[in-house]
């Protein structure tokens, strides 16, 4: 089944404890992206990647890092999480970004930082 | 700031009625898409309309695009309780290489 898989789905952590949210897609998509969703603020893009070893900042990149060493994986790293990073995170992918960026989303990762 | 803004923020209708949601955006776009999200779950793509198209249909969905007004509308006809969800528009700005989402419209369809 074609899908985007995120792990963990739920996580409670404490301020300053580094964590990684993994994202993997099995569709050979070139484009991958991370979003966070907060009440009243919609979905905001954190980082995106047009291809392997190519990443760019989205609208809210502060406090996050990403890497794209392989086509299928696009992990989101929080080096020193803070309570304002408590949110629902979504990873998404699409075949490419040449003009019809139809995104396939993962199920989401709900992160709570205490 | 967000590229797309949906209106209304919330909409409540009876089953069988039509639901109309609107999206406005700020900059020139390649295309505009509508997505649906069931509570707390991932978004699912519904329909894409390109900047040179004015109207598109898919089943009970009808999308219009007015690039002169920088706006789009999503019409769901003969709504069902299962249509209850949040609906988001997303725009691909020319040359931007990313999709920008609005805040969404929460639709409730009462049986």
Whole-number percent of chain A with pLDDT over 90: 83
b/e per residue, A68-97, with b = 16+ CB within 10 A?
beebbbbbbebeebeeebbbbbbbbbbeeb
Calpha distance A6→A15 (Å, rounded): 22
The set of residues, in sequence order, having a beta carbon less than 8 Å from that of A104 and lying 6+ positions away, is A2, A3, A4, A25, A27, A29, A92, A93, A94, B45
Taking 70 as the threshold, does the pLDDT of residue B12 lie above it?
yes
Sign of CA dihedral A43, B33, A77, A19: positive
From chain A, the residues in CB contact with B30 under 8 A are: 99-100
Backbone φ and ψ for B98, nearest 5 degrees, come out as -155, 160
Backbone φ and ψ for A84, nearest 5 degrees, come out as -75, 0
Instruction: Give the SS3 label for residue B83.
Output: helix
pLDDT digits (tens, 9 = 90+) for A46-82: 999 989 999 999 989 999 999 999 999 999 999 999 9
Report the candidate in A78, A15, A8, A5 with the shortest Cα–Cα distance to residue A47: A78
> Could you tell me the two tokens for B22?
């609107």
Q: What is the pLDDT of residue B1?
A: 42
Calpha distance A59→B104 (Å, rounded): 17
Calpha distance B111→A82 (Å, rounded): 42
pLDDT digits (tens, 9 = 90+) for B71-89: 999 999 999 999 999 999 9
What mean pLDDT do residues A19-41 have? 94
Which residues are A86's β-sheet partners?
none
Taking 80 as the threshold, does the pLDDT of residue B97 lie above it?
no
Residues of chain B whose beta carbon is less than 8 angstroms from a beta carbon of chain A are: 2, 30-31, 33, 35, 40-45, 48, 50, 88, 90, 92, 97-104
Taking 80 as the threshold, does the pLDDT of residue B104 lie above it?
yes
> Of B2, B30, B45, which is closest to A42 when you measure between CB atoms?
B2
Taking 70 as the threshold, does the pLDDT of residue A98 lie above it?
no
Contact B103 A40 (CB under 8 A): yes
Measured CA distances, A63 to A43, A53, A79, B48 (Å):
17, 20, 7, 32
What mean pLDDT do residues B11-29 have? 94
Report the candidate in B80, B8, B103 with the shortest Cα–Cα distance to residue A39: B103
Contact A45 B99 (CB under 8 A): yes
Contact B98 A45 (CB under 8 A): yes
């Amino acid at each position: 089944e074609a899908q985007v898989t995120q792990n963990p789905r739920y996580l409670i952590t404490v301020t300053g404890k580094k964590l990684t949210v993994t994202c993997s897609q099995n569709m050979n998509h070139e484009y991958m992206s991370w979003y966070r969703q907060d009440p009243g603020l919609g979905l905001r893009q954190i980082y995106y990647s047009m291809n392997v070893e190519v990443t760019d900042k989205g609208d809210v990149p502060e406090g996050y890092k990403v890497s794209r060493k392989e086509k299928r994986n696009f992990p989101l790293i929080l080096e020193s999480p803070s309570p304002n990073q408590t949110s629902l995170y979504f990873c998404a992918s699409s075949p490419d970004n040449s003009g019809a960026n139809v995104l396939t989303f993962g199920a989401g990762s709900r992160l709570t930082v205490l | 700031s967000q590229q797309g803004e949906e209106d209304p923020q919330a909409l409540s209708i009876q089953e069988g009625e039509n639901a109309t949601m609107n999206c406005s955006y700020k900059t020139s776009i390649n295309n505009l898409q509508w997505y649906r999200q069931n509570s707390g779950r991932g978004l699912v793509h519904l329909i894409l309309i390109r900047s040179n198209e004015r109207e598109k249909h898919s089943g009970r969905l009808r999308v219009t695009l007015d690039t002169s007004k920088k706006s789009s509308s999503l019409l769901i006809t003969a709504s069902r309780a299962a249509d209850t969800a949040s609906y988001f528009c997303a725009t691909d700005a020319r040359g931007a290489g990313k999709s920008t989402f609005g805040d969404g419209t929460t639709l409730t369809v009462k049986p």
